[in-house]
Structure 1
Amino acid sequence: MTNDSWLEIFGEASASSLEAPCSDHLPLILWSAPTIRVNRRKRFRFENCWITEPQCREIISRNWVLSEGMNLSTRFDICSRALWNLGKNLNKSLQPKIEFWKRRMEYLRGRSDNQGILEFITAQRNCIQLIEKHGTYWKQRAKVFWYKGGDNNSKFYHNSV
């Protein structure tokens, strides 16, 4: 007897029974021939911080229109792939951008002329927006981790509490 995950790994395995002259039980011999594992893409998860990206709505609209006439599942898959491509580097680039704007604010802090003050305010606004976006990303990520490791008397739970 096997289950789906076993068959996924050992799809080409075979078994046969051997003769046992002194018993009414037959021993089994199993020849496992593991199949080549194909790396599948991780399950798509929408990140809330993408909502603030100007191109998010455009990507969804464009891909929804392009997939018109296809079944709903395929349309969702097409949109999710396009969003995944947008987001795969977006979250990785947040921290360097935050650091850039912090350095820019530090550089402009000593200036007292109108142009310097306006540039400082712009840098501060950009930095705050990125920090909020980064916070939204980690807030959602923390919920995912909590649900995975949650309150099931696990090491994760006791360390969190």
Structure 2
Amino acid sequence: MIGDFNELLFQYEKRGGNPHPNRLLRGFGETIEYCGLAQLPMDGYQFTWEKGKGTSRWIEEKLDKVLTTSTWCDINTMVRVTNILTRKSDHSALFMGIHDPMGRARPRRRFRFEMTWTYDEGCRAVVEEAWGEGRGGGLQECIVHCGSQLSRWGGDRYHKFGERIEQLRKEQLYLKGCTDLDSLSEFRRLEEELSRIEA
């Protein structure tokens, strides 16, 4: 079972605010045990819900969990749960991957046109030049060559945005849960910059 259980198993699954009532922790823990379930460990940030983000009353909790039986875990030995932080929701997204135990190689990534490219004046020039270069081989050759050139151009140009977003998220992650004025101010500044870059 995966999702928002709206309950905690341990006090360390909460940061900020008042401690969680011990009777509720015990009750949820006993219920999980009675059902023969256990919580899978999670990679990444350990809190999945937040309230008062970026303020002195910031509360974070691990409300979202993956619960399984030991039999299921014995069958799915390569399972990994990852917390994917979101910026627009108060809950994170949990991703549960069951990795291929045979270790087969991933298929080669296919070309995908990125709509953000259309906002850059250079996109048109790349398409026109690539189309002209591939013209001798017919329509299919034009399409393949154009895709290749756009991938190279777009990757070189836009991976820097991805790197900057990743850097800002790391800086913001370092500040999560800090409620002193300087940290809150810096967190909000990073939030504004992330919003601007993503837009």
- Structure 1 or 2: more strand by fraction: 2
| TM value normalised by structure 1 | 0.36
Larger radius of gyration: 1
| TM value normalised by structure 2 | 0.29
Which structure's relative contact order is higher, taking Cα pairs within 8 Å and 6+ residues apart? 2
